């Protein structure tokens, strides 16, 4: 029989956050695949875990992934751990998981700490719906494209950022998203944990004077639907009702449906649109 892949969540700061199930699993599996063995050895030594360990990270995820899959096909059970938090969340764990499914290997996830969920619940912002972006890409064009997509995002937004890039990212957020409520969570679960609840502009002003420290999770307020509707209505008002109608007619909508859609966009009744078109035609 094939072995099994165990996705084991490890503490993001406070070692007491590790679960009993994860501790037992790390002791019982045949091998632990760790994102950084130098970092993970401290965790294993603290809990007196002697299981053999190997590296699995972004730069060897394909070749090492194949090796790990072969070991599991031979019957070995492997636990995957990241530097901190839940494997597969903003790390190459998702690649190994997909490879296991392709090979018919069973995968299970042992829940535990995750910086994104911890920050969300700590933020004081709406938690029912959220969009997790992890770290923004370093490529300027791709980065800007993602931020442009987030401009109209109504869900609470979560973004990871390193301290040395924080000010630049806040400048980009202010420019593209505008000033919104934000909670900056840093050093989560550690001694100097802080949750700074303010606005993007307020946070930027603060960190232009103070040096950012610690890994950060930014929890940003989503755009209000009323604001989106106002912006859309303003953009439609820049063209005539006839042009507006033509756009929907060209999409294959009927005359009646097009009038309904135009009325919705402009915040008026369908009767108003009908009356305007009738008067304009007669005129």
Contact indicator for 242, 280 with CB cutoff of 8 Å: yes
pLDDT values of the chain reduced to their tens digit, one per residue, 283 residues: 899 999 999 999 999 999 999 999 999 999 999 999 999 999 999 999 999 999 999 999 999 999 999 999 999 999 999 999 999 998 899 999 999 999 999 999 999 999 999 999 999 999 999 999 999 999 999 999 999 999 999 999 999 999 999 999 999 999 999 999 999 999 999 999 999 999 999 999 999 999 999 889 999 999 987 776 766 666 777 788 888 888 888 888 898 888 888 888 888 888 888 888 888 775 4
Q: Is the separation of the CB atoms in 188 and 119 below 8 Å?
A: yes
Question: What sign results for the dihedral spanned by CA atoms 195, 198, 203, 206?
Answer: negative
Coil vs helix vs strand at 213: coil
């Amino acid at each position: 029989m094939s072995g099994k892949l165990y996705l084991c969540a490890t503490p993001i700061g406070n070692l007491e956050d590790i679960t009993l199930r994860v501790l037992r699993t790390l002791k019982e599996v045949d091998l632990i695949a760790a994102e950084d063995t130098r970092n993970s050895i401290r965790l294993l030594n603290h809990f007196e875990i002697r299981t053999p360990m190997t590296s699995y990270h972004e730069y060897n995820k394909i070749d090492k992934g194949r090796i790990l899959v072969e070991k599991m096909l031979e019957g070995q059970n492997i636990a995957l751990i990241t530097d901190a938090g839940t494997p597969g969340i903003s790390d190459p764990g998702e690649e190994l998981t997909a490879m296991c499914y392709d090979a018919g290997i069973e995968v299970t996830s042992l829940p535990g700490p995750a910086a994104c969920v911890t920050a969300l619940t700590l933020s004081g912002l709406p938690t029912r719906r959220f969009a997790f972006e992890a770290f923004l890409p370093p490529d300027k064009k791709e980065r800007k494209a993602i931020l442009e997509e987030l401009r109209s995002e109504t869900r609470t937004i979560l973004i990871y950022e390193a301290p040395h890039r924080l000010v630049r990212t806040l400048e980009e957020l202010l420019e593209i998203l505008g000033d919104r409520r934000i909670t900056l969570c840093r050093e989560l679960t550690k001694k100097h944990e802080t949750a700074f609840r303010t606005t993007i502009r307020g946070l930027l002003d603060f960190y232009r004077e103070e040096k950012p420290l610690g890994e950060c999770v930014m929890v940003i307020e989503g755009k209000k639907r009323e604001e989106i509707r106002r912006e859309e209505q303003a953009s439609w008002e820049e063209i005539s009702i006839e042009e507006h109608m033509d756009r929907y007619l060209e999409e294959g909508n009927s005359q009646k449906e097009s009038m309904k859609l135009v009325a919705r966009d402009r915040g008026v009744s369908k009767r108003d649109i009908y009356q305007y078109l009738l008067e304009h035609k007669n005129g």
